Homo-oligomer: A and B are copies of this chain.
Amino acid sequence: MLKYQQIAAELEKYIEENELQQGNKLPVLESLMAQFEVSKSTITKALDLLERKGVVFQVRGSGIFVRRHKRKGYISLLSNQGFKKDLEDFQATSKVIELAVKKPTQKAAENLNIGLDDDIYYVKRVRYINEQTLCFEESYYNKTIIPYLNKEIVSESIFHYISEGLGLKIGFSDLFLHVDKLNEEEAEYLGLEKGDPKFCVESIFHLTNGQPFDFSIVTYNYQQAQFFLQANNQLL
C-alpha cells in the first residue's frame, strides 16, 4: 500500500469511527499535511482517491466534505464483488453445494475467454446473511489460473485465497444485472416461491493483466438483497 493509500484508509476509518455525516467538513489541507506529516501532493492524492470512492466531495474554494448516504440494510454493489473480504455490518456465512473440476458451459467459456475443452473449477454455494438466505451462486474459475481449490477454501473467502494464497492481483470486474422470475430450483435454494422475483448479477473478474479468471452468476433473494452505489460525475 502506498503512502497516499494509507492516508486515505486512515481518513476513511476516522470518518466511520466518528460517524461523521454527509456535509461535515474535514480539516483544511494544511492541517491534514501537518497531521500526517506528508507533502501537499500526497494529501491531494489521498483526497482524490476518497472522492473517487465516494467517501468525500471537494468543493472548490470551500473545502472537503464527508459524503455518506448509506442506508441501513443496503449492500454496496461494489464491495460485495469480492474485493472486500466481507459484507460490511453483516454476519455472512456460506454453504458449499458443489465443488468440482468440469468443462465450462458455453456461456462460461465465452465470458472466461477459454475453450469448451479447458478445465474450470465449478463452485456452487448458498450464502446467508443474518441467518437468512441471501443468494445462491454459481462460479466458474479458469483452472489454468486457479489451479487448486478445496472445500475449506470455498467455504470461506475464495478471493482472499486468490490474492493471499496464490499471490494473484485482482484488477477489475464487469457486472451485469437483470431481473426475472425464479424457476423451481432457484426458488427452493432461496426459500421463495417459483415465479417470485429474481435479482441476478453476473460478474466477470479479471486479473490486473486483463485475464478473466472468474465468471459468477449470483441469484439474490429479493427480500434480503438491496444494493447501493455511489456515482461520480467526474467519471462520466
Contact = CB atoms under 8 A, between A and B. Distances in A.
Contacts of A210: 22-23, 57, 59, 65, 67
Interface stretch (A118-126, A147-155, A225-233): A225-233
Given A54-B172, A65-B210, A228 B177 contact: yes
Interface stretch (A30-38, A71-79, A137-145): A71-79
Interface residues of A, number: 55
Interface stretch (A96-104, A183-191, A196-204): A196-204
A233 B170 contact: yes
Given A84-B236, A208-B59, A229 B77 contact: yes
Given A52-B235, A171-B233, A210-B22, A176 B78 contact: no
Nearest to A69: B174
A102 to B, nearest CB: 23
A227 B176 contact: yes
A173 interface: yes
A175 interface: yes
A180 interface: yes
A126 B89 CA distance: 37
A209 interface: yes
A235 B174 contact: no
